[in-house]
Amino acid sequence: MEERCSRCLHAVRLGDRGRRPPWCPHCGTDFVPAPPGTPGPEAAAAADPVPVPVGEFHAPPVRRGPGLLQVAVGVAFGLAVLGVVKDVLTRDPDKPFREQHLNQLRTLRDAPPASVAFRRNAGGLTVTDPGEVRTFLELVLAAEPVRPHDTEPIDEVAVTFPGIADTYLIGRDSQNGDEFWLRVRTPGADDARRVAQFTSPALTQWLQRTRVAALP
């Protein structure tokens, strides 16, 4: 007679009078009989086969986007490039020249000279009141600047200060009222160069009040 081990399902021969062995001779565990009709290990394996791997599966690599640091560096680099391009496109080669002469006028404003002379064609006029000299300089320096446009100065008046070799020129804009051009002619230069362009109704009134505007 035989019974199957409930552990390994192998058939185990029983002893005399159907005596069961104390352990399974196949798996070595305490022998516990399987229920009658239990199939053997070969049949159980066929009924529930163990899958046999036929190859290895490799997941595709995960593509990660740039990290936060890389993005920040890229943005900073882009802004730096834009700044350089903007500086090149908007660079004003005459700016140092203009600032030099505006600073000279600021120095005169802070310590007004005794007089300022105006001349146009054959006529001339000298303002000797230090208060009026300061007012003239303050009006020029505090005026509202305008963007240069396709016009030109007219009726220019030459302006000179004691001890200053440069000759400044104040002229009205050819198209816009109360708009002025401030230019300067340095010693030895053939042409005057633009220093500022601005709007100042108050300067118009000052030139009329001091009769500078009436120069022929």
DSSP string spanning 51-91?
PPP-S---PPPPPP---HHHHHHHHHHHHHHHHHHHHHHH-
pLDDT, tens digit, for every residue of 4-26?
887 787 887 877 777 777 768 88
pLDDT, tens digit, for every residue of 79-95?
887 766 665 555 678 89
Containing domain of residue 205, as a range?
A: 95-209
Q: Judge if 99 and 204 occupy the same domain.
A: yes
Q: Judge if 12 and 114 occupy the same domain.
A: no
Q: What is the pLDDT of residue 116?
A: 97
Q: Judge if 102 and 187 occupy the same domain.
A: yes
Please tell me the pTM assigned to this model.
0.57
Q: What helix, strand, coil percent values describe the chain, rounded to 5?
A: 35, 25, 45
Domain-embedded: residue 200: yes
Confidence at 61, pLDDT banded by 50, 70, 90: low
Q: In angstroms, rounded to a whole number, what is the distance separating the alpha carbons of residues 5 and 26?
A: 9
Characterize the bridge pairing of strands 167-173 and 179-185: antiparallel
Domain-embedded: residue 115: yes
pLDDT, tens digit, for every residue of 66-78?
778 888 888 888 8
Q: Judge if 112 and 204 occupy the same domain.
A: yes
Q: Judge if 108 and 39 occupy the same domain.
A: no
Q: What is the pLDDT of residue 12?
A: 73
Q: In angstroms, rounded to a whole number, what is the distance separating the alpha carbons of residues 193 and 169?
A: 9
The percentage of the chain sitting over the pLDDT mark of 90, rounded to a whole number, equals 50
pLDDT, tens digit, for every residue of 136-149?
999 999 988 888 88
Q: Judge if 204 and 113 occupy the same domain.
A: yes
Q: What is the pLDDT of residue 36?
A: 80
Average pLDDT over residues 184-200: 93
Average pLDDT over residues 112-134: 94
